[in-house]
Amino acid sequence: MTRADDSLYAAMLQRGMSRRTFIKFCTAMTAALALPATYASRVAAAVSAAPRIPVIWLRGQGCGGDSAAFLGASNPTAAEVLLDLLSVEYHEMIMAPAGAAAVRSRTDVQARYPNGYIAVVEGAIPTADGGIHCMVDGRPFRDVVRDVSGGALATIAIGTCAFDGGSPAAAGGATGAVGVASIVSSGSLLAMPGCPVNSANLTAAIVHYLTFKQWPATDSRHRPYFAYGGLIHNQCERRAHFEFGEFVLAWGDEAAQKGWCLYKMGCKGPETNANCPTVRYADGTSWPVKAGHGCVGCTMPGFWDAMSPFYRRLPPPLPFAPTVSADQVGQALVGGVAGLTVVHGAASYVRQRRVGAQERRDARVAAADGALPRQDPPGGDPDSVQPPVPADPTEPAELTETDEPSSSDREDVVAIEGPDPAVPVDTAVPVDISVPLDTAVPVDTAVPVDRADSPDLEAH
Amino acid sequence: MTRTVIDPVTRVGGHLRVEVEIANGVVRDAWSSGTMFRGMELILGGRDPRDAWLLAQRICGVCTGVHALASVRAVENALGVAIPTNARLVRNLLAGAGYVQAHVVGFYHRHAFDWVDPMAALRADPAATSTLALSMSEWPQSSPAYFKGVIDRLTTVVQSGQLGPFANGYWGHPAYRLTPEANLLVVAHYLEALDWQRGIIRIQTLLGGKSPHPQTYLVGGMALAPPWGGPNRGLPGEHPQQVERGSPPALSARGLTDIGTAIADARTFVEQVYLPDILMIAGHYREWAGVGAGLGSYLSYGEFPGDDSTKPALFLSRGRVMGRDLARVQPVDQAGIAESVAHSWYAYDDGGDALRHPANGQTNPSYTAPTQPSATLEGSDRYSWLKAPRYQDEPMEVGPLARMAVAYVEGQKDVRAAIDGAAASLGVGREAFFSTLGRTMARAIEAQVVARQLDGWLEALVANLATGDLALADLTRWDPGTWPGEARGWALGESPRGALGHWVAIRDQRIDTYQLVDATTWNGSPRDAQGRRGALEEALVGTPLADAARPLEVLRTVHSFDPCPACAVHAYVPGAGGPVQIQVI
């Protein structure tokens, strides 16, 4: 470490961090944000200099899993986040006061730090019957969210329930559950779906703000590109087995023991945007596909309906689509409802029995636009000013070789602090959308031949 | 008589409101109200039964995985699937690790501030704290310099004016009894426990892929697979896999070793930190062995099957202890479970208040609380989204105390030794466990008993894999074509917070009905048709209060149950075609 780093380290020491923790923390954050390793010192400078940002963490219709993920975080640990990085002034699961004293903790922060605190929302927001299905202090949770979010520096919708309503909003739900974006219209909004959220991504988003004084670039559903910019399928350690036609065909079979591809067991990795394979959980320990079970698509809109039944095999994924964004996958899903793409249309047809109202609205928009899945370069959204976009962390090098910037380019990229980075990292390779719209594509043609075929209970 | 409202009750999993009536400094009556409703069973209806565990799991992310386990068991019961030995052991490990985590976190991060004043800790003498720590256990983080560091860290936070979760606590309340040194010791362990969790989470992430919400369960077993050829055989030559040191496959030799290491670390913390802290705190609050006794009727469904038979021996026994009678255990039959909605925000179709078994239950939401914002539920005959479960018409308490009481009477060696040992060290009789303090002690004792058993399950798993038995799932009923047209199943088991039952009916390969009765539905239950209080309500009656405006003592008893109302409120809908009915259980 350089001398400058040493002084930063001294600052962190004063906050009670050990040297080892300090280095691990900076490294983990730069990795999660896909910044070059040289940015560790800059991250450290920002983190050590910043006053602790007050946080109001609200819980609605949820299971507490995102709180549990946050409290079980690794780099930094929850103790470090709570004491060094953030000032979590209101969080019902951990705060000492209860009742009126707890409510005072919330209103104190709102009064003392107007537009200076982060509102974190976990859980869905019920809107039916005046919001009676979730009441806090005798008030509908919906009103509390609007109140707190209205005066916040930014609102972070954490987990899938706060993203789009999640499980309470799945087919059969009766409480009018929605995500934060449906009731909060003003100010910065960040959505970090996942069931639960990966705590590394949550901390990384906050560290990004501390480092660059801007929130990370997001797609049209407010999801940061650094975490939701790439497909799981393209980052998966089992991907090579997919290419070789090496599939698990029954739980626990020889292929399962050899760690082959779970596509035929219903894995939703080919249609799911998240960085699970690269960041993983519990300090890089594992993630569901590594452990042996397929991805269920828990970061995707309406996944309880759109991705289920979870053990039914998806139609074949696009053969070469290294730069599919979360927006495009979402549009492909609803595009299928609108009859726009055949390949994903087949996928959506079998799954559309429970497509929620939100998807139908989007489908109407997509149909009105006549939109095919389109390239949506980061920062290109005219409605929002996008902070710098680091090179997409999630793409395997061999797939993006042609447009991978050199290391010096990459440094330039992240050094930009202005609102107009226009880094076209994602734009060079277009998605293959050349499938004729009206041609029925036999479902299996694009799938590599099985090496060892056997009766496949879940085949279409 | 004054009525005090606590909403939100914090440091619980979910949304809870408690109202108490106070006269002459004593709680005379209490009401427990769940204020959040999701309708998860409603959403389960019509889905593939093999998917049910994924959705049911999302009922609770705090003691995670318990509903996944109950759900796969209920479906397996309906379809007649027997899981392989390896799957049983992996499930025991996942669930058991969850108990240890839930109990440690449940105490330090949800309960400790009811007994411990962190502001008083600032006045502690680090050297005296070190002496105290060394007198209690061999835990190495006990030097004066270490405790000085904790004080400095706390002081920085306090001086910043941003107290975070410590802001607005009832600090300085006369009911706090610990010395500054004892306060500091527990605050240090509060911070250590946040870090300690990661070891448990590593076990769950290796075996489950992630935590919360492990994702390796299957109807029929587990989706984990040992490396080709078994844990000790190396990887297949044709496609060598990269094995990262920090991230081995769970059932590889290295993965199993890592799990063993994490188990040992978890157990050490429980034995050298958690349990000694509880006994130390209990010594300062002996009078709380006479507060919060509650119903005196305890129910345990039992957990941790010890063999692969259809009626396996359970590590923690099934049974009931009635009337605090530690002489005998009475049997449990799932047919004895039924629910009342007389004081819940639902109504039965026939308008009656008769108890209904979960399999026949039905409820329509019927919210009748005052319009918002509601200052009090006083005058509301119906006051909760929780239903009122009863066993043979009796309200029951569930949870670690219930399990320990049943295991004690059944003669479980580890439990007897731990309970008798704790009682002796405090100089109290075993009846002292029927109290708020007893609930908190029983939780710690159970954490130790389960933490010690984790190694046994891991050893059995390693030994069984070594025999060449690599099966983790029975797939004879995986194909829906093998299922009968109609099937019903149920599973009674335990979660860290207490008894948990799932009931499922399958028709034409889809979920027809799905219902569950959770631990906090029992403990947080509102009154039934006869007006009898639930376990938490009953335990609150008689609680002395030093300052009615700062009801610290109420929180002590509430948190001694470690309530999770998020788990407790659900809904279900009968199969397609029928009228939409919601069941809250």
Identify the CA nearest to B6 among candidates B472, B375, B254, B457: B375
Which residues, in sequence order, are bridge partners of residue B6?
B18
Residues 6+ apart with CB under 8 A from A352: A306, A336, A337
Q: Give the tens place of pLDDT for each residue, B156-171.
A: 889 888 899 999 999 9
How many domains would you assign to chain B? Answer: 1
CATH number of the domain where residue B398 is located? 1.10.645.10
Please state whether beta strands B498-507 and B486-495 pair in parallel, antiparallel, or not at all (unpaired).
antiparallel
| Beta strands, E only, A13-172 | 53-59, 86-91, 118-122, 125-126, 135-136, 139-140, 154-158
Place of tokens 């029927």: B434
Tell me if B584 is assigned to some domain: no
Does residue A309 have a cis peptide bond before it, meaning omega lies within 30 degrees of 0? yes
Rg value, chain A, Cα:
22
Per-residue model confidence (pLDDT) at position A281: 92
Whether residue A424 contacts residue A390, with contact meaning beta carbons closer than 8 Å, is answered with no
**Parallel, antiparallel or unpaired: strands B298-300 and B221-222:** unpaired
Token pair in block for residue A189? 């909004």
CA dist., res. B104 & res. B127, Å (int): 26
Lowest mean pLDDT, pick from A90-94, A288-292, A433-437: A433-437
Residue ranges making up the domain that contains B123: 2-236+250-369+382-521+546-579
Interface size between A and B, measured as CB pairs under 8 A: 348
pTM of the model: 0.85
Asked whether residue A212 carries a pLDDT value surpassing 90, the answer given is no
Do A89 and B478 lie within an 8 Å CB cutoff? Answer: no
- With residue B487 as reference, give the H or E element that holds it: strand B486-495
Residue contact B15–A134, C-beta within 8 A: yes
Relative orientation angle of helices A3-14 and A40-49, to the nearest 10 degrees: 40
* pLDDT above 50 (res B239): no
User: Does residue B108 surpass a pLDDT of 80?
Assistant: yes
**What percent of chain B is predicted at pLDDT more than 70?**
93
Predicted local confidence at residue A318, as pLDDT: 59
Does B153 sit within 8 Å of A65, measured CB to CB?
no
Instruction: Please enumerate in sequence order all residues whose Cβ is within 8 A of that of A66, keeping only pairs 6 or more positions apart, or say none.
Output: A122, A123, A158, A159, A162, A196, A197, B61
pLDDT tens sequence across B249-295: 999 989 999 999 999 999 999 999 999 999 999 999 999 999 999 99
Of B46, B164, B201, the CB nearest to A87: B164
Q: Is B207 close to A291, i.e. CB distance below 8 A?
A: yes
DSSP character for B206? H
**pLDDT for the residue numbered A91:** 95
Instruction: Indicate whether A411 pLDDT > 60.
Output: no
Which residues in chain A (218-257) have CB-CB distances under 8 A to chain B? 237, 240-241, 244, 246, 250-252, 254, 256-257
Q: Do B105 and A173 touch (CB under 8 A)?
A: no
AA letter at B477 = R
| More confidently predicted of B182 and A39 | B182
Nearest residue of chain A to residue B581 (CA atoms): A174
- Cα B312 to Cα A21, B91, B473: the distances in Å are 46, 14, 18
Which spans in A285-341 are helix H?
288-291, 303-306, 326-337
The predicted pLDDT at position A452 comes to 41
In a domain, B448, yes or no: yes
Q: Which residues pair with B384 in a beta bridge?
A: B344
| Interval A93-115 mean pLDDT | 95
Per-residue model confidence (pLDDT) at position B156: 87
Is B16 a member of any domain? yes
For residues A125-135, average pLDDT: 92
User: What pLDDT sits at residue A355?
Assistant: 39
Is A5 an 8 Å CB contact of chain B? Answer: no
Task: With cut-offs at 50, 70 and 90, classify the pLDDT of residue A368.
Answer: very low
Q: Which residues of B touch A77 (CB under 8 A)?
A: 194-195, 198
Three state DSSP letters for B314-364? EEECCEEECCCCCCCCECCCHHHEEEECCCECEECCCCCCCCECHHHCCCE
Q: Do A94 and B11 touch (CB under 8 A)?
A: yes
Are the beta carbons of A219 and A376 closer than 8 angstroms? yes
| Position A366 pLDDT exceeds 50 | no
C-alpha A397/C-alpha A394 separation (Å) is 9
Average pLDDT over residues A379-405: 37
**Residue of A88, A104, A280 with shortest CB distance to B165:** A88
pLDDT exceeds 90 at position A2: no
CB-CB contact of B270 with B447 (8 Å): yes
What span, in angstroms and rounded, lies between the C-alpha atoms of A193 and A423? 25
Q: Are B337 and B391 in contact (CB under 8 A)?
A: yes
Chain A residues near residue B15 by CB distance under 8 angstroms: 59, 134-136
Nearest to B111 by CA among B497, B531, B584, B568: B497
Interface contact flag, B209 A457, Cβ < 8 Å: no
The DSSP string of A113-138 is STT-SEEEEESBEE-GGGGTTBEETT
Can you list the alpha helix ranges (DSSP code H) found in B109-125? Answer: 118-121
- Backbone dihedral region of A74: left (phi > 0), alpha (psi from -120 to 50 degrees) or beta? alpha
Q: B59-63, B144-148, B177-181, B414-418 — which is least confidently predicted?
A: B59-63
pLDDT at A398: 35
Sort B173 into a burial class: Cβ within 10 Å, 0-12 / 13-18 / 19+.
middle
Q: What is the pLDDT of residue A319?
A: 56
What is the Cα–Cα distance from A216 to A209, expressed in whole angstroms? Answer: 7
pLDDT confidence of residue B227: 87
Backbone angles phi, psi at A203, to 5 degrees: -65, -40
The answer for A 41-60 residues in CB contact with B (under 8 A) is 52, 54, 59-60
CB-facing half-sphere around the CA of B222: CA atoms within 13 A: 32
* pLDDT the model gives residue B566: 77
* Amino acid residing at B447: A
Phi, psi of A88 (to 5 degrees): -80, 95
- Plot region of A152 (φ>0 → left; ψ -120 to 50 → alpha; else → beta): beta
CA A204 → CA A13, A49, A277, B127, B267, distances in Å? 21, 17, 16, 39, 32
Tell me the longest C-alpha to C-alpha distance in chain B: 79
Residues from chain A that touch B244, judged by Cβ atoms under 8 A, are 284
CB nearest A282 (choices: B160, B191, B202)? B202
B43 chain-A contacts, CB cut-off 8 A? 167-168, 170-173, 304
Q: Is residue B500 part of a domain?
A: yes
pLDDT of residue B411: 94
Q: Determine, yes or no, domain membership for B527.
A: no
Q: Name the residue among B157, B211, B216 with its Cβ closest to that of A83.
A: B157
- ipTM of the modeled complex: 0.93
Which among B146, B252, B160 has a CA at the least distance from the CA of B189?
B146
Residues B298-343: pLDDT tens digits? 999 999 999 999 899 999 999 999 999 999 999 999 999 999 989 9
What is the model's pLDDT at position B367? 80
Most confident listed range (A127-136, B166-175, B234-243): B166-175
Question: What is the rounded distance in angstroms from the CA atom of residue A215 to the CA atom of residue A193?
Answer: 16
Distance from CA of A331 to the nearest CA of B (A): 25
The pair of three-digit structure tokens given for residue B55, joined into one six-digit string: 């959705």
**Residue B229: band (very low, low, confident or very high) from pLDDT cuts 50, 70, 90:** confident
Q: Mean pLDDT, to the nearest integer, of B222-229?
A: 90
- The answer to whether residue B484 sits within a structural domain is yes
CA B540 to chain centroid: 20
Min Cα distance B321 → chain A (Å) is 31
- What are the CA-CA distances from residue A98 to residues A104, B131, B165, B381, B553 (Å)? 10, 34, 11, 25, 12
Vertex A15 angle, CA A11 and A17, to 5°:
90
The minimal CB distance from B58 to the residues A133, A167, A257 is found for A167
Mean model confidence pLDDT for chain B? 91
Query: Cβ distance B516 to B585 under 8 Å?
Result: yes
**pLDDT tens-digit profile of A13-23?**
555 566 677 67
**Quick check: A63 and B374 CB within 8 A?**
no
In a domain, B56, yes or no: yes
The amino acid present at A119, given as its one-letter code, is A
CA distance B198 to A78: 10
Average the pLDDT over A396-423 and give the result.
34
- Tell me the torsion sign for CA atoms B524, B530, B531, B532: negative
Residue listed under structure tokens 């600032």: B122
- Chain B residues within 8 A of A130 when measuring between CB atoms: 372
A155-164, B160-169, B480-489: lowest mean pLDDT where?
Answer: B160-169
Q: Sort out which chain B residues have CB atoms less than 8 A from A289's CB and list them.
A: 209
**In whole angstroms, what is the distance from residue B234 CA to residue B236 CA?**
7
Residue B350 confidence class, pLDDT cut points 50, 70, 90:
confident
The one-character DSSP state at B112 is: G
Which residues have CB under 8 Å from B189's CB, separation 6+?
A: B108, B273, B274, B277
Tell me which H or E stretch contains A190. Answer: strand A188-192
Q: How much is the pLDDT for B355?
A: 86
Q: What pLDDT is recorded for position A445? A: 35
How much is the mean pLDDT over chain A? 73
Most confident segment among A186-200, B124-138, B368-382: B124-138
Does residue B434 form part of some domain? yes
